[in-house]
Structure 1
Amino acid sequence: MKNYKYIGLLLLSIGVASCDVNNELDIIEAEAIPEVALNTNGLDFSTYVAIGASYTAGYTDGAMFKAAQENSFPNILAGKFGTEFNQPLMNDNIGGLVYGGTAVQPPRFYFNGAGPARLPAMPTTELTTVLSGPFHNFGTPGAKSFHLGVSGYGALNPYFGRMASSPSASVLGDALAQNPTFFTLDIGGNDVLGYALSGGTGVDQLGNPDPSTYGGSDITDPNVFASVLSATVDALTANGAKGVLMNVPPVKAIANLTTVPYNPVPLDGATAGAVNGAYAPYNGGIQQALGYLASVGFISPADAAAEIAKRTISFSAGQNAVVIVDEDLTDLEALNPAFAGLKQYRHATADDLLLLASSTVIGTTVGGNPQLINGVTVPLADNWVLTPQEQMVIQVATDSYNATMAAIAGSNPNIALFDFYNLGVEAVSGIVFDDYTMNGKLVTGGIFSLDGVHATARGYALIANYVLAATDAEFGSNFTSATNGLAKAGDYPTNYSAMLR
């Protein structure tokens, strides 16, 4: 009972004490954030034009469509510049193009809960309908550096054909006709991207000065790129216009090349054993052929052993690397007719990059034959994989293009340089954008749209902010510190609904 008495006294004392407490809390005023006025430091944004390829155009989710164009980074920039900005808008949010009632380019991707899927709808934008300008966004999907000055380019590229001022117009000519006072120039990505997305099946045109001989998947010669870029910048700045030059981001960092793992094949022990049995003659032939080449001095014993290990096909229970064709391996069949049937096969490694589209092929059967499985008993063709050697070819060209851009920006006071390459490197591990941390993962990362190459709307807003930061650094403006000077992440989506038409 004594304890209860003490507890009662304690409660009573608390109750009495509480009567003396002022329960009205003082209101804490929110700290006022001072308004910072925009200072352009004399920059003239009255006529802003954007020149480039698909990123400039606002290409998203594997297509061009209105909402994506309205969220293109140039349109975001124009809003911050406070200037009129006309774009060659598509008819709908379905995407794609039709010609005579037939779809000639597919509609956009949407997320169906499992992955990217094409929108089940017919495009309504007619390929041959020419829009009336003038326009300010000259982003042209598919354009390479040497395409900008090609007269009549609209006949080769239907997207530009819809916006061209005449059948003989060029992208650069139409842009210059607007008498720009400020511009962005985003070019060079497609000069290596076509090669990358073909799995390296194109040709590195290093040393070939004639781009009219290039194929669509070829890599542009760095000297050709340098010559075209220098002439383009000179033309754009001739009347005193200022602009931002965007260098080439790292192609191997795009989600299209980093999403599919090199070892996506699950096998049980029995199946692995059966597949190994099928490859036994091949493995034996490889060992015998390379052993022979070592014995006659064509290859050192150490190199022969290393290549035997690299080319031996062996599956086990659990996750397995796909089997691929690697054209950089020694072509044994070409060396000796006795080596017929010893193809350039090996398992993929973590250093190989599988194209996103390979996910639709790996594990499927050939001709419905359950014994012929792509990536397992049937090696993936070269066009599905970017090998380390092919990645190096891309890197060498990219480094050369970017060195040219740095030199041009460094020697021209009217040019700011946006280091798009470094942004791509940072995106791999993650970039903080307002309340979001964005990275390069497909679907969940927030930067790459569902095609794994182009940006989401939020990704384009991020790019716009980096362009503004480059503008501040070079020309003394203050977009990065001005109130509402930058785009806000929350104003831009990372995906578009399937219902958006």
Structure 2
Amino acid sequence: MMTSFLLRKATPLALLAGLGLTACQPDLEGDFSPSNGGVDFSNYIAVGNSLTAGFSDGGLYLTGQQQSYPALLAQQFKTVGGGEFVQPLFNVANQQNGSGYLRLAGFTAAGSPITASVATNLALRQGATATRPLYTKFTDPVNNLGVPGIRLSDVETAGYGSVLGNPYFERISPDNSNQTYLARVTASNPTFFTNWLGNNDVLGYATAGGAASFLTPTADFTAKNAKIIDALTAKGAKGVVATIPDVTNIPFFTTVGPSFRATLEAAKVPAIVVTTGGFSGTPGAPPTRKVIPVNTIRNANGSSGNQLFTLTSSPYLPLFGMPNKGKAWRDVYNQAKPSLPAFVTLGLFLQLQGVDTVQAFGATAAHPFPSTLVLDDAEQVLVKDATTAFNNSIKAKAAEKGLGVFDANTFFAQVASNGIVTNGISNTAGFITGNLFSLDGVHPTPRGYAIVANEMIKVINSTYGAKVPTVNPNDYQGVKFP
């Protein structure tokens, strides 16, 4: 990909040059000479989760890996003495689609996107099942330690890289390894690093509508973040850490609700009913019901309403008010089934939740929306409080070690409000059309990752006095149209 440098305001001479009068044109880039500023980029290690791995469109696959923000950073570091950067690529023949992913297949007559799963040429090895994938091993030393799904709370979990642990960490771990992620980071011996861990300590709870996963206790988050940073800086490495964005600003939460609200208001529906919190396993103690006035569902520009519907709620919203439509609750049961006792049938599960699917869906307490489809206002407060506490921990540890901080929380909040222009091209946080977020509504597109790389480069240059050139985000695509 092409490399661009910092843009400068056009001078009168430059404007004349644009008219063909080039004899006196100054060399506008002549004063930008790449420099490492005294930073040793020879062994760059990227620590993080799916964002670091290059996850996009709901999966990890070769194209996303090749355009991960660490890969783009490493590409630019080579201009200032950076070394080789090894990623665990899915580059075995006919396995380039990795875990599988979503593609945009087209649009309905009403303009709604149609997505399809890419499930061919996957990187699965013998023994993999639908509920426990096993990916083709990559056991060479790697510089990109991005592990989709990992939380800071997981970094000291023994067996996390086993066949019973995280399949992405298992893929890059030796067979029968009991090594923790923290131990792997400690052994990496970076000369420079980026660390973007912590998102999943909030995201898992939020994307499940508060019905599954959990918010990591702040004390646990703080302690394990400190251990990761201490390990990375033990031999004097410099680096950049990133904060956790406010997940309620991403398309996963801002896309579906506004149109649903408009539909309900047009039909003069005053309110809907949802469950809150987790699902019940106790007879006679079903989940709490919550009545949500329609005018409190978030509108298109966020100026009104604070109840958020998840992107995954989209298939179920057209069923609102219909009797005998139990698809949402059947799907919840099927997703939960692997972790339920064998004797819990669909009928028993519905009984425990106090759900009667004969009733009108979403309009009655007897047949409410499952909490997995809605992140309500009370749950958002918990998410925002955790995000603030975690970010305070990240910044405090970075200040202690003199590290650069990419404030992803502030940056993505600004993008959500105002968008971002890259070399004359407007980009927004809008789903599909905004260029920045992929089809899963959570992870960036290649262009989004390029913009993240540039923001980190800005932090590196300002913190360490380096002159690492940026990339041109417009060289990287947004959502790929059919």
**TM-score tier (shorter):** 0.7 to 0.9
Q: Could you tell me which residue of structure 2 aligns to residue 325 of structure 1?
A: 274
Q: How many angstroms does 1:368 deviate by?
A: 5.2
Q: Could you tell me which residue of structure 2 aligns to residue 90 of structure 1?
A: 90
Q: Could you tell me which residue of structure 1 aligns to residue 473 of structure 2?
A: 489
C-alpha contact 1:61 1:110 (8 A) present in aligned 2: no
One-letter code of the match for 1:381? P
Q: How many angstroms does 1:31 deviate by?
A: 5.0
Q: Could you tell me which residue of structure 2 aligns to residue 145 of structure 1?
A: 152
Does the alignment pair 1:110 with 2:104? yes
Bigger shift: residues 68-77 or 256-265: 256-265
Q: Could you tell me which residue of structure 1 aligns to residue 34 of structure 2?
A: 38
Q: How many residues matched?
A: 389
CA 1:87–1:496 in structure 2 vs 1: closer, same or farther (change >3 Å)?
farther
Q: 1:227 is matched with which residue: 223, 229, 241?
A: 223
Q: How many angstroms does 1:67 deviate by?
A: 0.4
Q: Could you tell me which residue of structure 2 aligns to residue 60 of structure 1?
A: 56
Q: TM-score, normalised by structure 1?
A: 0.72
Distance 1:442 1:382 in 2: 23
What is the Cα-based RMSD across aligned positions, in Å?
2.8
CA 1:407–1:264 in structure 2 vs 1: closer, same or farther (change >3 Å)?
same
Does the alignment pair 1:442 with 2:435? no
Runs of 5+ in structure 2 lacking a partner?
1-18, 125-133, 278-282, 297-304, 327-356
Distance 1:396 1:426 in 2: 19
Q: 1:192 is matched with which residue: 173, 188, 202?
A: 202
Does the alignment pair 1:28 with 2:21? yes
SS for the counterpart of 1:63 is coil
Does the alignment pair 1:346 with 2:292? yes
Kindly provide the CA deviation profile for residues 115-155 of structure 1, in whole angstroms up to 9, marking residues without a partner as x.
25123543420125321311110100000002223332112
Distance 2:379 2:308 in 1: 10
Distance 1:80 1:343 in 2: 52
SS for the counterpart of 1:219 is coil
CA 1:321–1:148 in structure 2 vs 1: closer, same or farther (change >3 Å)?
farther
One-letter code of the match for 2:203? L
Q: How many angstroms does 1:84 deviate by?
A: 0.9
Q: State the 4+ residue runs in structure 1 displaced beyond 4 angstroms.
A: 91-94, 319-322, 340-343, 365-373
Distance 1:492 1:93 in 2: 23
Kindly provide the CA deviation profile for residues 224-278 of structure 1, in whole angstroms up to 9, marking residues without a partner as x.
00000111111110101111111111111010000012562677xxxxxxxxxxx
Bigger shift: residues 344-353 or 432-441: 344-353
Matches within 5 A, 1:3-22: none
C-alpha contact 1:94 1:107 (8 A) present in aligned 2: no
Distance 1:474 1:144 in 2: 27
Q: Could you tell me which residue of structure 1 aligns to residue 232 of structure 2?
A: 236
Matches within 5 A, 1:424-435: 424-429=412-417, 430-435=419-424
CA 1:48–1:266 in structure 2 vs 1: closer, same or farther (change >3 Å)?
closer
Matches within 5 A, 1:166-185: 166=175, 167-185=177-195
C-alpha contact 1:94 1:108 (8 A) present in aligned 2: no
Distance 1:258 1:488 in 2: 28
Q: How many angstroms does 1:432 deviate by?
A: 1.6
Distance 1:410 1:38 in 2: 26
Does the alignment pair 1:403 with 2:358? no
One-letter code of the match for 2:480? Y
Q: How many angstroms does 1:321 deviate by?
A: 6.6
Q: How many angstroms does 1:109 deviate by?
A: 3.3
CA 1:84–1:321 in structure 2 vs 1: closer, same or farther (change >3 Å)?
farther
C-alpha contact 2:160 2:169 (8 A) present in aligned 1: yes
Matches within 5 A, 1:267-416: 317-318=266-267, 320=269, 323-325=272-274, 327=276, 343-348=289-294, 349=296, 350-364=305-319, 367=324, 374-376=361-363, 378-413=367-402, 415-416=403-404
Distance 2:325 2:135 in 1: 40
One-letter code of the match for 1:34? E
CA 1:50–1:116 in structure 2 vs 1: closer, same or farther (change >3 Å)?
farther
One-letter code of the match for 1:255? P
One-letter code of the match for 1:162? R
C-alpha contact 1:94 1:122 (8 A) present in aligned 2: no
CA 1:346–1:436 in structure 2 vs 1: closer, same or farther (change >3 Å)?
same
One-letter code of the match for 1:191? D
SS for the counterpart of 1:119 is strand
CA 1:376–1:95 in structure 2 vs 1: closer, same or farther (change >3 Å)?
farther
Q: How many angstroms does 1:344 deviate by?
A: 3.5
Distance 1:494 1:67 in 2: 13
CA 1:342–1:393 in structure 2 vs 1: closer, same or farther (change >3 Å)?
closer
CA 1:94–1:226 in structure 2 vs 1: closer, same or farther (change >3 Å)?
same
Q: How many angstroms does 1:319 deviate by?
A: 6.4
CA 1:225–1:81 in structure 2 vs 1: closer, same or farther (change >3 Å)?
same
C-alpha contact 2:275 2:368 (8 A) present in aligned 1: no
C-alpha contact 1:87 1:135 (8 A) present in aligned 2: yes
Runs of 5+ in structure 1 lacking a partner?
1-25, 98-105, 203-216, 268-314, 329-333, 480-484
Q: Could you tell me which residue of structure 2 aligns to residue 209 of structure 1?
A: none
Q: Could you tell me which residue of structure 1 aligns to residue 9 of structure 2?
A: none
Q: Percent identity?
A: 32
Distance 1:478 1:145 in 2: 31
Kindly provide the CA deviation profile for residues 410-429 of structure 1, in whole angstroms up to 9, marking residues without a partner as x.
1212x111101011101112
Q: How many angstroms does 1:372 deviate by?
A: 5.1
One-letter code of the match for 1:392? V
Distance 1:116 1:461 in 2: 26
Bigger shift: residues 364-373 or 457-466: 364-373
SS for the counterpart of 1:360 is coil
Q: TM-score, normalised by structure 2?
A: 0.75
